[in-house]
Chain A
Amino acid sequence: MKSLLELQDIYLNYKTENSLVEVIKGVNLKINSGENVAVVGKSGSGKTSLIMLIAGLEKVTSGKIIFEDQDISAYSEDELADLRKRKIGIVFQSFYLIPNYTALENVSLVLEINKIENAQKKSAELLDQFGLKDRLNHFPSQLSGGEQQRVAIARSIILSPKLILADEPSGNLDSENSKLIIQLLFKYSKQNNSSLILVTHDQSIAKECDKIIEIKDGKII
């Protein structure tokens, strides 16, 4: 399988007033196209920070992030934004839909900014597949937590991204909805041949992935 993402000896440090906090310490990781990877570890171990680095939302202190053979750690803010726009989908624990956009608009926005035609039609079809046909014109505040997360997943996969980053996507949901969400993520990442990096505390979910990496004190163990 072809390598999609490679982290080469990456470090992430934060400076506070009096000290230096080392969050990620020399992580090396390789993820292939279409591979599912679970990231596990205790709170504060650096899981989310790792996701933020891969998404290009944080800059590495040192090391390289190679995405599709390109060193994205040297990219500018705008180049990283463009990369996210075209190739990375993100799912958050707290769903984070745009509050004054409808479910349909939240999904179609991704297609529109990529200048893809029939954005609304395509988004409606996908939401239909997600069982949200009757919720297309509802605002996030009118949806349940499970429905909001389904919209968020639809938004992350609509463009068939190369990489999906999911930060505890079922963390705020009941077990039934949790199961449904994870199934959707696996189904569509496989269908689109997208790689999936899934941060989770749930060992049963982690076990369903192709690979499990555990982080402790900013290092992969």
Chain B
Amino acid sequence: MEKLFNFQDFKYAIRDLTRSYKKISTIIFTLFISLFVLSVILSLEYSLKKELNANAKILLGGDFEINTRNEKVDDQYFKKIEKFGIISSTVEFSTMLTNSTRSDAKTFFIRLKAIDQKYPLYGDVQSFPDKALSLLQTTKNSIVVNRKIFETLKLKVNDTVYIKQTPFKVVGYIESVPDLGRALLFGDFAVVSTNSFLNLNINTLGSFINYEYRVKLNNENINFKQEVENLTKNYPSYSVRYPENSSNNLKKLIDNFSQFLSLVSISAMLIAGIGIANTLISFINQKNISIAIMKSLGFTTSTIKKIFYFEIFTLLTIISLLAYLLAILSVPIVNAYLVKTLGIAVQSEFIIQNFIKVFLSGFLVVSIFCLPTISAIQQIKPTSLFRNVFQPCEFYFTKKNISLIILAIISLILLFAFDSKKPFYTIMYFLVFFIICLTLYGLSKLIIFYLRKINFIKFLPLRLAVKNITNPKTIFPITVLSLGLGVTLLLSLTLIGYNFKKEVQKSIPEIAPDYFFVSIQNTEKDEFVKYLKNNDKNAVIETMPIVSATLTKINKKDPLSYIKQNNDSFWVLERDRRISWSNTPPKDNPITEGNWFDANNKSLQISLDAKVAKDLNIKLNDSLTLKIYGREIEGKVTSLRKVDYRDLSINFVMLINPSFAANIPHEYIATAKFKNLPDFKEGAFLQKFKNISTIKVSDYLGKVTEIINKIFIAVIIISSIAVIIGLTVISSAVIVQARLSVYQNLIFKILGINSSNLILASIIEFLISFLSIIFIAVIFSIGVSYFVIEAIFKLNWSLEIINSSFVLLFIGTVTIILILLNNYKFLSPKVYPLVRNE
């Protein structure tokens, strides 16, 4: 049996590679780009997660954190916890900050953090001036704001800002805080001392107040968790967090984003694979004389194939190593951006597992496309050397290489699904990709089948085009496949990009309210409505009662014991939610299952968001236990509603029956849409209602679009890379076709057929393939982009015909230009070299 590795064969491979690398530049280029992109994504994901894990205590702010939600910690409990170490207590709540008490004051909806002298237990606060945090503790009623507020309000140190009409002296601004709190990540915030906070005399039902206690252990080596858990059992409304859970949301975001980008990059790699197959088959066709000579000299087909495999896998090893090393070097460039955005600095590191994944991805993609290509060597006969007739070889499928291709595809899917947080999406993605491939391949075969039946064409260029397509050695299926995949990917990314852009640029919907108002006390509700009506008698005001509730049991079982954090609706269980009640179902929340509340039934009835019910496996009539004001009440799910949180109206995951809720102490949330928005003065409103916080919808949307814009930029960068690869692949397919027809063109030239007929024939040939793929590309790209926008990014998808048509036109034009440019030198071949068999 022949040895798998033979140094002599390897030597031939290297010799050939060093002398022929220019002919396979498409392979080098597309393989490098796609492996580089994948390497960047993997390196960044790893570095970010490593940094988050390494700084878990800093991100949490302690060795553990006790969250007592909207109540102060119990003194007894506090004393017991105190023995573990130093406790730093903070209070967070949402409120309004203004720069004056005048009616035209500029306002900010902020998360206010009150800190004690022990804060921060871990890490550092980056502030200006450096001592701003200590000034906070020594200066009465002082405040530090985040940099954006400081710059927007053009504040100077010692200026005054107001919270609930109480003046605070600005002692500086904050660049970053070590504990990236849940709300502080993207929003505006300010920090005051605990003493200053007490001066605010906060007196609400506490729906938006959060008390947190962080502990730094005296002795890090002690096993404290069990003891803390036991102590906390007696306080059901308290929850304990540990460093390993400090940045779950951020990790989830990174997971989702890197999964999406990895799949886009693997698509680019698979399209590059078609380019690799095209280029390699062209390379083999160019070397068919050499291969035939080698066979005549006594080389076996398997030895020659082995030499080609050595060439391609040597190339892959060098390229993947180079791509990975360059990707590591690029991490510091991204780092500058991350420090600014997240306050996290990541380090470049060579991780062997990541390199193996990059190499394996390349290896599997190259194997999938090279197996039928290199097997084509089988078709080259040394007898051609006697006859001087060389037929171009085509992809060669045997049972053995079909089995190997299937094995490589399965391995590739498993490689990406294995460490994916959502393996189902990954598997679906690959499935769709291969369905598109099969559809396009089937389409090409169908076209060839029907064109063969046509024999009445008189127009010479059309006859030439049809002949080229139906030729037994035609590369039409490959052209349709590469062009089709390229167009589908470009169109999908265009639609995804357009929908992102639309979300970024979209104006506030007509029906959306202008303002949200939170923390409206029961006692001031009527006065609040009256004030707004006085301000604008045409104002549309909607008020809803709210109360905090925690979902503690589903069918009498603690959901946290069996529902995992990667569940899409885990957020419902993570902490207390605001719930409301209503006599009638909300207009924009259609009931999908069950019936609205039975007014005569006074026991707890719950109407649940249908998507949440599906994710948490909750059915109609299931029992849910809600903890409201520390008391656990069991209720029954009586209806499911379709809730769309994107419509900017008041939406609740859970609504309960008014007959049950009637006597629960509550506050209100309200929305208002004004006829004349400029007439509403936030400053004046806050003078009157200092405890009510206002959120201007346009400001809120600004923050959301800022985040979407960042995602959009990343998608566009990855898309551009995929576009370049797509065009390179299309171009390589065109070159392959043109090179194959050079001998034929020579004969035509000798026979007197002019170049314009040949040019027209190649345009017709292109149009037949391009027009046939448009329909399939459009259908699949609509499906893919819809799934990405609606299912992954939870945004609104819409079809954009003008841009999509423009993209099709653009691809068509660019491709036809590429065809004409590439065909140019092959359309008028020089007779002499060909006659001499050079």
Q: With contacts defined as CB atoms under 8 Å apart, how many contacts are there between chain A and chain B in the complex?
A: 69
Residue contact A52 to B383, C-beta cutoff 8 Å: yes
> Which residues of B10-25 are within 8 A (CB) of A?
15-16, 19-20
Is the C-beta of A77 less than 8 angstroms from some C-beta in chain B?
yes
B381 closest partner in A (C-beta): A57
Our pick among A83, A99, A113, A115 for the contact of B299 (Cβ within 8 Å) is A113
> Of B290, B296, B388, which contacts A55 at CB under 8 A?
B296
Digitize B376-391: 1 where CB-to-A-CB distance is under 8 Å, 0 elsewhere. 0000011101111000
Inter-chain contact B298/A96, CB cutoff 8 Å: no
Shortest Cβ distance from residue A85 to the other chain B in the assembled complex, whole angstroms: 2
Contacts of A128 in B (CB 8 A): none
| Complex contact A92–B385 (CB within 8 A) | yes
Interface bin, chain B: 20 to 34
**B838 interface neighbour in A57, A90, A98, A141, Cβ under 8 Å:** A141
B299 touches A98 (CB 8 A): no
In the complex, whether B254 has a CB less than 8 A from a CB of chain A is no
Query: Do B300 and A98 touch across chains, with their CB atoms under 8 A apart?
Result: no
Q: Mark A77-95, 1 if CB is under 8 A from B, else 0.
A: 1100111111010101110
Q: Does the CB pair B302–A96 fall under 8 Å?
A: no
Q: Are B386 and A92 in contact (CB under 8 A)?
A: yes
Residues of A near B751 (CB, < 8 A) are none
On whether the beta carbons of B298 and A81 are closer than 8 Å, the reply is: yes
CA distance A92 to B289 in the complex (A): 12
Question: Which residues from chain B contact A141 at a C-beta distance below 8 Å?
Answer: 838
Q: Which of A52, A84, A94 touches B837 (beta carbons < 8 Å)?
A: A94
B718 at the interface (CB under 8 A from A): no
Among residues of A, the one whose C-beta sits closest to the C-beta of B18 is: A100
Within 8 A of B (CB), among A49-64: 51-52, 55, 57-58
Are A77 and B296 in contact, CB atoms less than 8 angstroms apart?
Answer: no
- Tell me, in angstroms, the Cα distance from A79 to B295 when the chains sit together: 12
In the complex, what's the smallest C-beta–C-beta distance from A40 to chain B, in angstroms? 16
Within the complex, the shortest CB–CB distance from B380 to chain A, in Å, comes to 12
- The listed residue (A57, A58, A101) touching B296 by CB distance below 8 A is A57
Asked whether any CB of chain B lies closer than 8 Å to the CB of A109, the reply is yes
A81 touches B385 (CB 8 A): no
CA distance A57 to B296 in the complex (A): 8
Assess whether B298 is in contact with A84, with CB atoms less than 8 Å apart.
Answer: yes
Do the beta carbons of A96 and B385 come within 8 Å of each other?
yes
Nearest-neighbor residue (CB-CB) of A81 within chain B: B300
B383 touches A94 (CB 8 A): no
Shortest Cβ gap from A84 to chain B (Å): 4
The answer to the question of B523 belonging to the interface, with a C-beta cut-off of 8 Å to chain A, is no
Q: Is the CB of A78 within 8 A of B302?
A: yes
Is B816 at the interface (CB under 8 A from chain A)? no
> Which residues on B sit within 8 Å (CB–CB) of A99?
289-290
Does residue B511 face the partner (Cβ distance < 8 Å to A)? no
Q: Could you tell me if A81 and B8 are in contact, using CB atoms closer than 8 angstroms?
A: no
The answer to whether the Cβ of B293 comes within 8 Å of any Cβ in the partner chain is yes
Shortest distance between the CB of B421 and any CB in chain A (Å):
49
- A156 to B16: give the CA distance in the assembly, Å: 22
Proximity string of chain A (13-50) to chain B, C-beta cutoff 8 Å, 1 when within and 0 when not: 00000000000000000000000000000000000100
Cα–Cα distance between A56 and B382 once the two chains are bound (Å): 10
Q: Is B297 an interface residue (CB 8 A)?
A: yes
Complex Cα gap A105–B387 (Å): 25
Q: What residue in chain B is nearest A51 (Cβ atoms)?
A: B386
Which of A58, A77, A97, A100 is the most central at the interface, judged by chain B CB atoms within 10 Å of its CB? A100
Contacts of A115 in B (CB 8 A): 8
Contact assessment for A94 and B388 in the assembled complex, using a CB-CB cutoff below 8 Å: yes
* Chain B: minimal CB distance from A41 (Å): 14
B294 contacts A by Cβ under 8 Å? yes
Chain B positions 285 through 309: 1 when the CB is less than 8 Å from some CB of chain A, otherwise 0: 0000110111111111110000000
Q: How far is the CA of A98 from the CA of B286 in the complex (A)?
A: 12
User: Which residues of chain B have C-beta atoms less than 8 A from A210's C-beta?
Assistant: none
Inter-chain contacts of B295 with A (CB < 8 A): 57, 81
Residue of B nearest to A115 (CB): B8
Residues of B within 8 Å of A147, CB to CB, are none
For A101, the chain B residues whose CB sits under 8 A away are: 15
93-151 of chain A: CB within 8 A of chain B: 93-94, 96-101, 105, 109-110, 112-113, 115, 141
- Which of the listed residues B289, B297, B300, B837 has the most CB atoms from chain A within 10 Å of its own CB? B297
Point out the residues of chain B lying under 8 angstroms from A105, CB to CB. Answer: 15
When C-beta atoms are compared, the residue in chain B nearest to A48 turns out to be B386
Of A77, A92, A96, which is within 8 A of B300 by CB? Answer: A77
Q: List B contacts of A109 (CB < 8 A).
A: 297
- B108 → chain A closest CB, angstroms: 71
A113 and B297 form a contact (CB under 8 A): yes
- Select the residue from A57, A83, A85 with max chain B CB neighbours within 10 A: A57
A83-B295 Cα distance, complex, nearest whole Å: 12
Find residues 241-296 in chain B having any chain A CB closer than 8 Å to their own CB. Answer: 289-290, 292-296
Query: Within the assembled complex, what's the spacing in Å between the Cα atoms of A83 and B16?
Result: 25
Q: Does A167 contact B (CB under 8 A)?
A: yes
- Provide the residues of chain A in CB contact with B298, threshold 8 Å: 81-86, 88, 113
Q: A86 vs B837: C-alpha distance in the bound complex, in angstroms?
A: 29
Rounded to whole Å, the gap between the CB of B383 and the closest CB of chain A is: 5
CB distance from B377 to the nearest CB of A (A): 12
Q: Is the beta-carbon distance between B383 and A58 smaller than 8 angstroms?
A: yes
Determine whether the beta carbon of A52 is less than 8 Å from that of B386.
yes
Contact status A167-B299, CB under 8 Å? no
**What residues of chain B lie closer than 8 Å to A82, measured between beta carbons?**
298, 300
Of A57, A81, A85, A97, the contact of B383 (CB 8 Å cutoff): A57
User: Which residue on chain B has the smallest CB distance to residue A112?
Assistant: B8
Q: Which of B344-381 contact A (CB under 8 A)?
A: 381
Instruction: Give the distance to chain A from B810, nearest Cβ to Cβ, in Å.
Output: 39
How far, in Å, is B147 (CB) from chain A's closest CB?
Answer: 63
A155 to B386, CA, bound (A): 17
Q: Which of B385-402 contact A (CB under 8 A)?
A: 385-388
**Which residues from A are CB-within-8-Å of B289?**
96, 98-99
Shortest beta-carbon distance from B740 to chain A in Å: 18
CB distance from A111 to the nearest CB of B (A): 11
B299 cross-chain contacts in A, Cβ below 8 A: 81, 85, 113
Q: How far in angstroms is the closest Cβ of chain B from A38?
A: 17
List the B residue with the shortest CB-CB distance to A141. Answer: B838
Is the CB–CB distance between B297 and A100 below 8 Å? Answer: no
Tell me the smallest distance from the CB of B225 to a CB of chain A, in Å: 67
Smallest Cβ-Cβ distance to B386: which chain A residue:
A48
Closest A-chain residue to B378, C-beta based?
Answer: A77
Question: B294–A48 contact, CB under 8 A?
Answer: no
What distance in Å separates the Cβ of A160 from its nearest Cβ neighbour in chain B? 15
Could you say which of A77, A83, A85, A98 has the most chain B C-beta atoms within 10 Å of its C-beta?
Answer: A98
A84 contacts B19, C-beta separation under 8 Å: no
B381 partner residues in chain A, CB cutoff 8 A: 57
Apart from the given pairs A98-B289, A101-B15, 20 other A-B contacts in the complex at a CB distance below 8 Å = A48-B386, A48-B387, A52-B383, A57-B296, A57-B383, A77-B300, A78-B300, A81-B300, A82-B298, A85-B298, A85-B299, A94-B388, A94-B837, A96-B292, A96-B296, A99-B289, A100-B19, A100-B290, A109-B297, A155-B297
Report which A residues bind B (CB closer than 8 A): 48, 51-52, 55, 57-58, 77-78, 81-86, 88, 90, 92-94, 96-101, 105, 109-110, 112-113, 115, 141, 155, 167
What are 6 A-B contacts with C-beta separation under 8 Å? A52-B386, A97-B293, A98-B290, A98-B294, A105-B15, A110-B297
Q: Which 9 pairs from chain A and chain B are nearest by CB?
A: A85-B298, A84-B298, A81-B300, A100-B19, A98-B290, A48-B386, A78-B300, A57-B383, A81-B298
